Structure 1
Amino acid sequence: MKRVISFFYTIYLFVGATIYVFVYGGIVLMIGGLLRLFSKNLSKKFVVKQIETFGRMAFKLLGIKVYKFGEISKTDNNFLIVSNHQSALDIPLVIGYVTPAAFIAKKELAKVPGINWYLKYLNSVLIDRGNIRQTAAALKEVVKRLRRGVHFIIFPEGTRSEDGKVLSFKPRSLELAFKYKVKVLPVSIWGLHRVWKKKRFLIERHPVYIKIHDFIDPKDFNSEEELRIHVENVIKEGVEFLERRHYSEES
């Protein structure tokens, strides 16, 4: 019976996401296009705000309770959001409950109607992973956008965690932050690995927890490795805190 409920729950998610992206999303972009005739800045603010709203609505429509701890400290500087990776739903969670941010994504997403529109509005950079020269050029573009105040999000583990534990960060995964002295905003996520398990199609209802940490300044570290290990430990401690919080509320 539980699998049957999960099946219809999953279908509900995909149908709802499709309707949003192609119907509501189309309306949002049409309004954004009209606003662009008067002000590019106003147009972008409107569309990005709607993307943030979608991030939150994705969980409300699924009936998934999100527990949020912490807020972003006020800053005039650009920053890099660094989060652990548990599910494809990490992206709407971060966009909705932290802040809309750009992604370093695969170039194939440029061919997906709807998704490519939002990537563009968020100032994301697309990479051809098999093309070393193009990847290098794309990373230079990321640096340019970071300097213009665009926030990016990365998942340094490189893959989803099956049990919710934080995996080791990939070597040099925080090279951009360290080399260009871009502040890091660590974010810890727990619970999404149970909502949408790795290598599983079905989605299940489960509470989700997210913790926003304080900014970390790369200037305080002597190497990328030292910075990376520190950020990894901060996120690990956050995940452990969120897991304990969940079980204390269950008991």
Structure 2
Amino acid sequence: MECFRTKARDSIMGTKIKNFIMTLYFLIGAVIYIFIYGAIVLVVGFIIRLFSKKAAKRFVINQVVIFGRMAFKLLGIKVYKFGDIPPVDENFLVVANHQSALDIPMILGFCAPVAFIAKKELGKLPGINWYLKYLGSVLIDRGNIRQTAVALKEVVKKMKSGTHFVIFPEGTRSRDGKMLPFKPRSLELAFRNGIKVLPVSIWGNHKILKKKSLVVHRTPAGIKIHDLVDPKEFQNEEEFRLYVENVIKNGVKEIERRLDNEESKG
């Protein structure tokens, strides 16, 4: 019995050490990639911009996509992708459930290089603010109602001109992966302006990087891209929102089942 307990303690200790090493690796890698490699990318982008603005933006955006995928690859995390973005020329709003800080690189790398409606504080962080600017993100001062209204008008303007944005209608990250109800009127921006929504379901990121924790756990994750949803097919924002919420919720359950099957095969 004592031998069994000793082995169990050693196993737990081994897991903690492995998680600590992975976390340290993740943090150091994030700093190197965002601040050092990110700076190099933007310098190269600036040089290309001297000859072609479109080519420069295309180059930087492509690097953002690579960053999103590498965030998982370098951690040795397998990401299962289900579905693809429909081949359409019109703009859309990506709507996803929220499980972890890793949701952002996952969407950037496996869905689309989208812009963010972010807190103004992020605009003060070197490295991160560079990418926010290139992606066309809009910064909001949540305590300033007037500034927020102006910022949302800018979001609509950018969306109509071709910029894709992403929002997380739950309003916060889920601790256990289960979806929280969407905030009332969270899709009003899309509904009022007739902008189609691209529902995206995410599962597994809450296990890799838990809320309010920097400890990284190596476990698979998945993302499912659904069909576009047209707000013009619904009577009001609530009906539209509940439909999108249900699509994403069912997608989360599907990914969970499919990942369980994949892991059982392995």
TM superposition score normalised by structure 2: 0.93
The equivalent position to 2:133 in structure 1, one of 93, 117, 120, is 120
Determine whether 1:140 maps to 2:143: no
Hey, what does 1:78 align to over in structure 2? Answer: 91
Determine whether 1:183 maps to 2:196: yes
Counterparts of 2:219 and 2:76 in 1: how far apart (Å)? 9
Query: Superposition RMSD on alpha carbons, in Å?
Result: 0.7
Hey, what does 1:49 align to over in structure 2? Answer: 62
Secondary structure in 2 matching 1:167: coil
Counterparts of 1:120 and 1:46 in 2: how far apart (Å)? 14
Aligned-residue offset at 1:163: 1.1
Residues 130-170 of structure 1: CA deviation (Å, up to 9, x unaligned): 00000000000001001101000000000111111111000
Hey, what does 1:104 align to over in structure 2? Answer: 117
Q: Which runs of 5+ in 2 are unaligned?
A: 1-13
Determine whether 1:39 maps to 2:52: yes
Which residue identity lines up with residue 115 of structure 2 in the other structure?
A
Count of aligned positions: 251
Aligned-residue offset at 1:201: 2.4
Secondary structure in 1 matching 2:122: helix
Hey, what does 2:26 align to over in structure 1? Answer: 13
Secondary structure in 2 matching 1:250: helix
Which residue identity lines up with residue 249 of structure 2 in the other structure?
K
Which residue identity lines up with residue 82 of structure 2 in the other structure?
F
Matches within 5 A, 1:211-222: 211-222=224-235
Deviates more, 1:195-204 or 1:62-71: 195-204
Counterparts of 2:167 and 2:67 in 1: how far apart (Å)? 20
Secondary structure in 2 matching 1:185: strand
Counterparts of 2:125 and 2:262 in 1: how far apart (Å)? 40
TM superposition score normalised by structure 1: 0.99
The equivalent position to 1:166 in structure 2, one of 162, 179, 185, is 179
- Which structure has the greater CA radius of gyration? 2
Counterparts of 1:59 and 1:3 in 2: how far apart (Å)? 20
Aligned-residue offset at 1:239: 0.3
Aligned-residue offset at 1:250: 2.8
Residues 109-141 of structure 1: CA deviation (Å, up to 9, x unaligned): 111000000000000000000000000000000
Matches within 5 A, 1:195-214: 195-214=208-227
Which residue identity lines up with residue 8 of structure 1 in the other structure?
I
Hey, what does 1:227 align to over in structure 2? Answer: 240
The equivalent position to 1:237 in structure 2, one of 240, 244, 250, is 250
Counterparts of 2:261 and 2:110 in 1: how far apart (Å)? 23
Q: Which runs of 5+ in 1 are unaligned?
A: none
Aligned-residue offset at 1:225: 0.4
Hey, what does 2:73 align to over in structure 1? Answer: 60
The percent of aligned pairs where both chains have the same amino acid is 65
Which residue identity lines up with residue 80 of structure 1 in the other structure?
L
Residues 189-239 of structure 1: CA deviation (Å, up to 9, x unaligned): 000010011122211001011100000000000100000000000000000
Aligned-residue offset at 1:5: 1.1
Deviates more, 1:195-204 or 1:136-145: 195-204
